[in-house]
Amino acid sequence: MTGFLWFTEKISKWMNIIAYTALTFIMFLTVTDVILRRFRHPIIGTFEIVQLAGAVVIAFGLPITSWMRGHIYVDFFINTFPGWVKNFMNILTRVIGIAIFTFIAYNLFHFATDLLISGEVTSTMQLPFYPIVYGMGAACFLQVLVLVADIIKVTGGKYE
């Protein structure tokens, strides 16, 4: 199973590189647009690009954040229980998360296919939505793998 854990971590890190590259792009685009607006030459479609890139940042940053346990945890109540209860709760919450993110990923892939078929694009720059939505679905699927990896770590005694 260490191969699965290694693979999941590496893919999460690659998606994180895409996320922080998109975030850096958003910052440069926004600064450039603000400067050019001063000279009455704004960048057309900045709002659309920032929206799409923001979706990439959020979705692609989620798996590595979960892998590194970078989310806020409120565990003062759980810490009062013995170890087996903590492990049970960790597994239970991961199973619920797997169900939720599988549902989200499935629906995002379905929605992206609908967008592809219908040819839906942004209003100003005519950028297609479907690649971003497919990417969000892939990120949710990777989140499922991260949660499965968490269960493997909990059952193997290597969690926390």
Residue 54 lies in a domain: yes
Per-residue pLDDT tens for 107-140?
999 999 999 999 999 999 999 999 999 999 999 9
- 156 pLDDT band, cuts 50/70/90, is confident
Indicate whether this model's pTM tops 0.95. no
Quickly list DSSP for 134-147. HHHHHHHHHHHHHH
Residue 160 lies in a domain: no
Per-residue pLDDT tens for 44-97?
999 999 999 999 999 999 999 999 988 887 777 888 888 888 889 989 999 999
> Domains in the chain: how many in total?
1
Residues facing 121 on adjacent strands: 128
Beta strands in 6-146 (DSSP E): none
Residue 14 lies in a domain: yes
Residue 42's pLDDT is 94
Angle between helices 130-155 and 83-118 (to 10 degrees): 160
At residue 70, φ and ψ (nearest 5 deg) are: -85, 0
Asked if residues 101 and 133 have their Cβ atoms less than 8 Å apart, the reply is: no
Asked if residues 142 and 16 have their Cβ atoms less than 8 Å apart, the reply is: no
How many CA atoms are closer than 13 Å to the CA of 69, on its beta-carbon side? 10
Distance separating alpha carbons of residues 90 and 150, to the nearest angstrom:
8
Residue 75 lies in a domain: no
Q: Please give the residue range of the domain that contains residue 151.
A: 2-70+81-155
Residue 115 lies in a domain: yes
Residue 144 lies in a domain: yes
Residue 41 lies in a domain: yes
Residue 11 lies in a domain: yes
